[in-house]
Structure 1
Amino acid sequence: MYDYLIVGAGLFGSVFAYEATKRGKKCLVIDKRNHIGGNIYTEEMDGIQVHKYGAHIFHTNNQDIWNYVNQFVTFNRYTNSPVANYKGEIYNLPFNMNTFYQLWGVTSPDEAKQKIETQKQAAHITEPSNLEEQAISLVGSDIYEKLIKGYTEKQWGRPATELPPFIIKRLPVRFTFDNNYFNDRFQGIPIGGYTKIIDQMLKNVDVQLNTDYFDKKQAFKNLAKKTVYTGMIDQYFDYIYGTLEYRSLHFETKRLEHTSNYQGNAVVNYTDRETPYTRIIEHKHFEFGTQDQTVITEEYPQEWKPGDEPYYPINNTKNNERYKQYKALADQEENVIFGGRLATYKYYDMHQVIGAALATVRKEFDDN
């Protein structure tokens, strides 16, 4: 009946479905949730596009991918400039000259570099063996203690001394007064929300929501010549090598009736260990909203267990070795394509998911 059964209506599955349909293939997309879009799903509330699964800011250096997403929706000029709240003290992120001035009162890049170097020397770290040592060797002890340690330990649920150094090796440090978090050429938020993109991709595709692939796995496979699977790879193989680990998130979303502007910024990170959430998102600021009310979301990291929504893969040695075993099985699977964040046990930004999906399409259809 179908050429492709696509398990998951997120970004990877939707790009594949759109491209396959363009090539004359008949696709069925199924998703266990009651909506399309996966984790980039946005839902309108009082005229505000609420990011239901955490803040998503599109950014890329790739002109082709930027052109690709712009065929579906118009992007605004939003620039990601989060701020950090440490016990009521406010600092700019990423770490830049504004941050250094707020911390130390320094006004020149040379003064800031000297301050960081002095603190690095005082720590006597030669070869960082964990995240704490890596962070101090990059930015010194003041920034680490106020803006990294508490946030990171909440995010990962483990002491920084037990986390691998690679997590923080690409920490952005700038000696300019530039609050733009990303270095990419292109950045913005789709006007009207991310769901509009997926709507456009799937408008000519058969979609079934509230549909769990594993309820009737064999029957679903029989519906199509090939399956594109974007769910958890360990679940596909019945966890025969054990469970891959993730960090999960819990969101508390609140509509504030008599508040038009709660925090003055879309994203505020709470970097002390005592505040239970890692950040508060005020959704209206993604689209420069002027509504009389606002909607905020507190984001609480939590340990993942089967049945929870998996967000961040824990790519330590144990899990990566386990994933390799599942990947070997996937490579032997006939007529099944594994793709996306969960099926490849890899954290992706949105532009990377699209790039991976388009590469899969080119390979599948022998595009040059």
Structure 2
Amino acid sequence: MKKYDYLIVGAGLFGAVFAHEARKAGRKCLVIDRRDSTGGNIRCESIEGINVHKYGAHIFHTDKKEVWKYVTRLVEMNRFTNSPVANFNGRLYNLPFNMNTFYQLWGTRTPAEAEEMLKKQRAEYASIECPANFEEQALKLCGRDIYETLIKGYTEKQWGRPARELPAEIIKRVPVRMTFDNNYFNDPYQGIPEGGYNRLIDALLEGTETILQLDFFSRRDELCSLADKIVFTGRIDKYFDYRAGRLEYRSLKFDTKVIDTPNFQGNAVVNYTSADVPYTRIIEHKHFEYGTQPKTVITYEYPATWSEGLEPYYPVNNERNNAIAAEYRQMARSMGNVIFGGRLGQYAYFDMDDTVDEALKLAEKEMGN
């Protein structure tokens, strides 16, 4: 009989939710993580009394009522609403594209005027029947003004390549609102845990044995021998020793500064959409929790090509990578005692609510056995 029912590799949101459910069901788990802290990419760090989102802005939003109820049983959520602003060459525009945005672009005051402008803009590209790339698709969907002001530069920085080299399917639609509503998400539930995300992770991992600064691959055989099953939330290609090839990721670099002013930009997130600005956005963390501290903390976020030593944040879901990922998923299905979960383990872009939902489904499946 092995010491643990489950070895959970990764103390991020997926691993923590699964561990919480397994412990409630009477299973014994060991959670390990190579970092020196729990929480994965939702980890917060206190600077000047402000909960700083260490690995980029995270806003919890969902249309899944059960997921919202699950999270709010563990922590109190505040009423934060994500209403980002875009800065293009010094001019500010509201996001997502709504009546405020159209007024700022064209001076239109009514939905009818805005619809007419959009119709004219789109008409210029009506001859593009089958868009061959991201740029053609975006121009067909929204016209030149929105594309060049708010989409092109930001997207090219995000993906590290020209828009004409990106697949058209990346932008399947452009959400347009004919209201003066700056709420970025349509989901009915949205907020930030009061006191930061660490409280959520601490609540999930309470009572579960956790070892930090332990790299699974440095003691792989020994660790695998400890548990009946492994829940692996790291890179699936690395687990299989890159047998089918290396998957691509996009990474991020952060430059965080303390500013001796109570309010730097007046908003939690300001996107910089022009190509000549190297960062994609500035995050002012105190606005996530309505902070009144005398100083503020801001983070410049720079997209980066992923390489060993950097954190892999986003899967690059192009044809090549999807084919490689499919091979790894096939290999995973043949593993009787290893389960792959989370953004890296499943090579999928998950929002936080998707991550919670996936972990709960896995736990229900496992605990029902």
Given the two structures, how large is their TM-score scaled by the length of structure 2?
0.98
Residue pairs, 1:66-105, within 5 angstroms: 66-105=68-107
Distance (whole Å) between structure 2 residues aligned to residue 165 and residue 39 of structure 1: 29
1:204 paired residue among 195, 203, 207: 207
Counterpart code for 1:118: K
Structure-2 residue corresponding to 1:266: 268
Q: Distance in 2 between matches of 1:62 and 1:262?
A: 34
In the alignment, which residue of structure 2 is the partner of 1:114?
116
Q: Find the aligned partners of 2:171 and 2:196 in 1 and give their Cα distance.
A: 30
| RMSD between superposed Cα atoms in Å | 0.9
Q: Which residue, out of 163, 187, 190, partners 1:160?
A: 163
8 Å Cα contact 2:141-2:173 kept in structure 1: no
**Counterpart Cα distance in 2 of 1:259 and 1:234:** 45
How far off its partner does 1:344 sit?
0.6
Residue 168 of structure 1 aligns with an amino acid whose one-letter code is: I
- Code of the residue aligned with 1:331 in structure 2: it is R
Deviations 1:125-166 (A, max 9, x none): 222221111111121100100100000000000100111122
Equivalent pairs: percent with the same residue?
60
The residue number in structure 2 matching 1:177 is 180
5+ residue gaps, structure 1: none
Which residue is 2:314 aligned to?
312
* Match 1:324 to one of 318, 323, 326: 326
- Match for 1:135 among 126, 135, 138? 138
Instruction: Kindly report which structure 2 residues correspond to 1:1-368, keeping only aligned pairs within 5 A, or say none.
Output: 1-123=3-125, 124-256=127-259, 258-366=260-368
For normalisation by structure 1, the TM-score amounts to: 0.98
User: Alpha-carbon deviations, 1:227-251, whole Å to 9, x = none?
Assistant: 1000000000001111100110000
Moved more, 124-133 or 313-322: 124-133
SS in 1 for 2:101: helix
Cα distance, 1:306 vs structure 2:
2.4
Shift of 1:120: 1.3
| TM-superposed deviation, 1:35 | 0.5
Shift in Å at residue 168 of structure 1?
Answer: 1.6
Q: How many residues were matched structurally?
A: 366
Worse overlay, 146-155 or 165-174: 165-174
User: What residue ranges of structure 2 are gaps of 5+ in the alignment?
Assistant: none
Worse overlay, 358-367 or 307-316: 358-367
